[in-house]
Chains A and B, each alone.
Chain A
Amino acid sequence: MKRDGLGALATVLGGVILVAVIAWLIVLASPHQPALTSNPDGTITIGGTTYNHVTLSIATYPDSLFGARGSGGAHPDWVSYSNDNLVVPAHSAVTMTVRQYDTGGEPNNPYFAKVVGTVGGTETINGTSVTSIPVNDVAHTFTLREIAGNAPYLYLNAPLPAVSASAANTLHIGHGTYPKPNVVTFTFITKGKGVYLWNCEFPCGDSVSGFGGAMSTYGYMSGTLTVN
């Protein structure tokens, strides 16, 4: 009887430890890059309202040879954003600059070639203001939405145009060599504090739908935007 009781206790303890180890592994698999915090840039008046203005600069690469992974990590050939952990202040105007170094094509849904949710519904590409880009010229998107229950409703889509496949790789950045990027800039107004999710809506990963691999692994083509 006493041995049976000890056996049951050991079984329960073993189960608890197993669950804890699984939870720990899940936490390790979650986004854990160092936070990229926005830089203050005075104030800006938009639509008659003056906002605290900040700037944030990130990039998209055709590989993982730069950014938080340094020399490439486990999948040096996977496409990647330079950062996956962005931090900005609440109720502020955030001007984001994305340097886009990758080639592209057509997204699964042409809707993601349209600029949505930015100030004026526009973005600038190499200095030219646009409301959308050609559907067959999308490399990636920066698509942001709230995590329901964690932040106020928000939706933003900024399509990032492709670099020509024949462009010469002339820029040495980190361990990679890249063509001259398309520089995309857009501004949006943050809402209340909370955690928002962003990801790419161009099928740039593996598998049939193009949403495997880099698209389905933390730290490559998705991340969080923390508003505090």
Chain B
Amino acid sequence: MTNENKEKQGKLRWGELITVWLVLTILTVTGSLTIIPHLMPRAASSTMHLNILTVVVFSVTAAPVGSFVYAIAAYGLRNWRAGSGDEPPADGPPLRGNNVVTIVWIVVSTFLCVFLLVWGLAALSSDSSAAANSTFKVDVTGQQWLWTFHYPGTSVTTESLYLPEGKTVTFEVTSLDVVHGFWIEQMGVKIDANPGEVTTISVTPDKLGTFDVRCTEFCGLYHAFMTTQVHVVTPTKYHAWLQAQQA
């Protein structure tokens, strides 16, 4: 190893490291705030709004941590790389006894973990309260390779789903054969459909339109085509549709 390299390896230029960290943090936070919401399906329920917000907040929270790791890696590659023909340096001695680093590490990690835990519990509580307030149920059945929907209290079964806007619905989901995954992309609804079991999930559609249902558990030859549509219509149109189906 040349003397120049030895000298470079021995010094840690905090200014350079922090500058790289700050630049990476600004880039990733900006990307989290501006790009990530556009990568998610357009929201058609308060659940999906919360899902998008959760992904953005978690990304922003993770950005400084991830950026710090990449900043150290970039700094190390630039300043501590062995030159051509040099013998790679032996590993340095372990660092112990730096109380400042230890305390900062513990405090920051604890703060971040508690923050994410509280956020997650609040989101779960929000989902549970929506289910508790729901009196409108739809039976969802998965079978290779179609979804069917039954509206309890009626004789109506369909292969595409109709929902009234603004009314909380609880899906009671099951399967007749293998495990399927019931996912309404734009509503943030995703739950397994298990044979012989009923799982439940609730949502309140808040946007009129047609949205996508997909299966999220690999269920055989035509899993990729196990799709259908959700039509969210006004309550008046929904009741008219339901009556027409029963006629």
Contact = CB atoms under 8 A, between A and B. Distances in A.
B143 A217 contact: no
Contacts, number: 52
B225 A147 contact: yes
Interface stretch (A20-28, A170-178, A208-216): A208-216
A143 interface: yes
Contact of B159 (A155, A203, A209): A155
A63 interface: no
Contact of B221 (A108, A147, A210, A216): A216
A108 B177 CA distance: 8
Given A111-B157, A155-B159, A211 B225 contact: no
A209 B196 CA distance: 13
A211 B159 contact: no
Using C-beta atoms within 8 Å of the partner chain, give the interface range for chain A. 20 to 34
A132 to B, nearest CB: 12
A201 B143 CA distance: 9
B169 to A, nearest CB: 20
Interface in B202-244: 212, 220-222, 225, 227-229
Interface in B127-180: 141, 143-146, 148, 157, 159-160, 176-178
18 contacts: A108-B143, A111-B157, A111-B159, A116-B159, A148-B212, A148-B225, A148-B227, A155-B160, A199-B222, A208-B177, A209-B144, A209-B176, A209-B177, A211-B144, A211-B178, A215-B221, A216-B220, A222-B222
Interface of B: 141, 143-146, 148, 157, 159-160, 176-178, 212, 220-222, 225, 227-229
Q: Ordered nearest first, which 6 A-B pairs have the shortest CB separation?
A: A209-B177, A148-B227, A108-B176, A211-B144, A216-B221, A111-B157
